[in-house]
Copies of this chain bind each other. A is one copy, B any other.
């Protein structure tokens, strides 16, 4: 009972000044802004904590968190390195729980559909010649992978990200990349189904054609169709695979 209609002024918007937390955000911004690029070696802990003016303990909590979500990689006696963006959040541990929650997956897939659909539309409006070529290139590469019997997961990812690039909205691009990373495992399983990769290629081709002809509406439709089919396949996999979770890697 009791409706808290006594709308208080909502003071104190909880600004927890945790040293570790601010260090965490600080470090993340380094990685994301490109101050520290993928493959870079970041300063040693003992040096970093002095720069930040905090104890090594506090710094390490932040570093460890970043390592566990796949942004950093530490090697004793060697140093700590920045991981490529594509590996963010791809730590197997995260799949453990993401995989057990069906609802979450559905939300992720829906979010992805919404974002990528609009991104495809924007790309159709804004893509430059070079960007179109980049998109086409991923399709070509996918065909090659297919012929060689290699995995097309990465090329598939590249296709969608180059479209996001062509949409010229960094915010949305990053969001899409994150969502795809979250789904990575299922995408992998989906692409492992025999006939699927070939269908994907032709769908990618259709999406590309729509974007290349600068037809936003067609691009949105094509992308939507593609992602909806993916969603159905993934749900089938999840349903079927709902028993023995493989401990891959």
**Which residues of A pack against B, CB within 8 Å?**
7, 10, 20-21, 24-25, 28-29, 31-33, 57, 60-62, 64-65, 68-69, 85-86, 88-89, 92-104, 107-108, 110-111, 114-115, 118, 141, 154, 169-175, 177-179, 182
Pick from B89, B107, B118: contact of A98, CB below 8 A.
B89
Question: Can you give 10 contacting A-B residue pairs, CB < 8 Å?
Answer: A28-B98, A32-B97, A32-B99, A61-B65, A65-B65, A65-B68, A95-B178, A97-B171, A114-B114, A114-B115
Copies in the complex: 2
Top-3 shortest CB links A-B: A32-B99, A65-B65, A96-B178
Query: In the complex, A179→B92 CA distance in Å?
Result: 10
Tell me whether A171 and B111 are in contact in the complex, defined as CB-CB below 8 angstroms, given that A20-B64, A21-B68, A101-B33 are known contacts: yes
Contact A172 B111 (CB under 8 A): yes
Chain B residues, CB < 8 A from A10: 154
Contact B107 A178 (CB under 8 A): no
Chain B residues, CB < 8 A from A88: 92, 97-98, 104
Query: In the complex, A60→B62 CA distance in Å?
Result: 10
Query: In the complex, A182→B25 CA distance in Å?
Result: 15
Pick from B64, B101, B170, B171: contact of A62, CB below 8 A.
B64
